[in-house]
Structures are given as C-alpha cells and as structure tokens.
Amino acid sequence: MEPPHYSPASPAQPPYPPPRPEPWAPVPKRPGWLGQNLGCALGLGCFGMVLLGGISVAAIFGAVTLGIRASDPYSVAISTATHDPLLLAELGAPVEAGWFVTGSINVSGGSGHADIEIPVHGTARTGKIHAVASKSLGKWVFSTLSAEVDGRPAPMDLLHALPAP
C-alpha cells in the first residue's frame, strides 16, 4: 500500500512528524595530526631508532679502526710488508692495506702489547699480515710479523725485513 500524499495545503498532519533539530548539535572532534598519522609516525620513529643505532655502531667501529691504523705496530707492519720484495712478488705490486683490521692494542705509559691482523691485497692475490709486538720502555719489539697469502700453504716470515732498531 502506498502512503498518502501530503501537500502543504492539506490540513492533515503526517503520522510521524520530521525530527526537530537540536538547539545545538555537538561538532565531532577531529583527531590531530598524530591521531591521523599514527602508523606513519611509529614507523618513522622505529626507523629513526634503527638508523641511529646503525650510525652509532659504525662510528664506534670507525673510531676503533682508525685508532689501530694510527698505531706504531700497524705502521711498521704495513711499511715492512709493502717494501718486502718476496711479499710484493707473491701479492703483486702495489700492496695495499684493507679496512677491516682486527685485533687489539693495549698501551699504558711506556709499555704495551699489540696483536693485530691486517688484510692486504695486491694486483695478483690477497692475504693478511699478522703482527704481535710488545712495548717496553717506549719501544715496540715484534715477536711475530708474518704474511698469509691466499693459495700459499705456509705463512711468510717478515721479521727479517724489519728495519734495524
């Protein structure tokens, strides 16, 4: 059944009058920027923390590596290796040091101890230099200075090539 048609001239009232507007209607509160972009803000915050952690680790690694590279045992070991004719023949000239130096150097006043491994590469092969030295009365004395060349069965002794004290 079809509802009756009402016109403004019709004296009859509809059975359900239209709702009357409230005198004031509450305006819905819009969320702020953080409420609208919470997922993005959390993602950027986590990414920032991971990035900051990575930069911190890289800075510590860089500082330790640069500290070892600035030491006397490192300098003497690299200088000896790059001027030894037997090692130059094995690796291929020029011989250069790599970045990932491992080991430790402990110095306290005029005494200390160093045990480091330095990656090296030439035009033909790669290898690593192993240096063990002790510092007494301000002077470093090497007990081990050898080069392990990839593809060579035994390490090469470089103690003979050290400069005279």
What residues does each domain of the chain span?
35-66, 72-161
Domain 72-161 has CATH 3.40.50.300: no
pLDDT at 34: 80
Q: For residue 114, what are its two tokens?
A: 């160093």
pLDDT at 10: 56
Which regions of the chain are under pLDDT 50?
Answer: none
Burial zone of 125 (CB within 10 Å; 0-12 exposed, 13-18 middle, 19+ buried) = middle
- Give the tens place of pLDDT for each residue, 93-122: 888 888 889 899 999 888 999 999 999 999
Does the predicted model carry a pTM greater than 0.85? no
Residue 156 · residue 90 · CB < 8 Å? yes
pLDDT at 63: 87
pLDDT at 6: 53
Burial zone of 29 (CB within 10 Å; 0-12 exposed, 13-18 middle, 19+ buried) = exposed
pLDDT at 68: 87
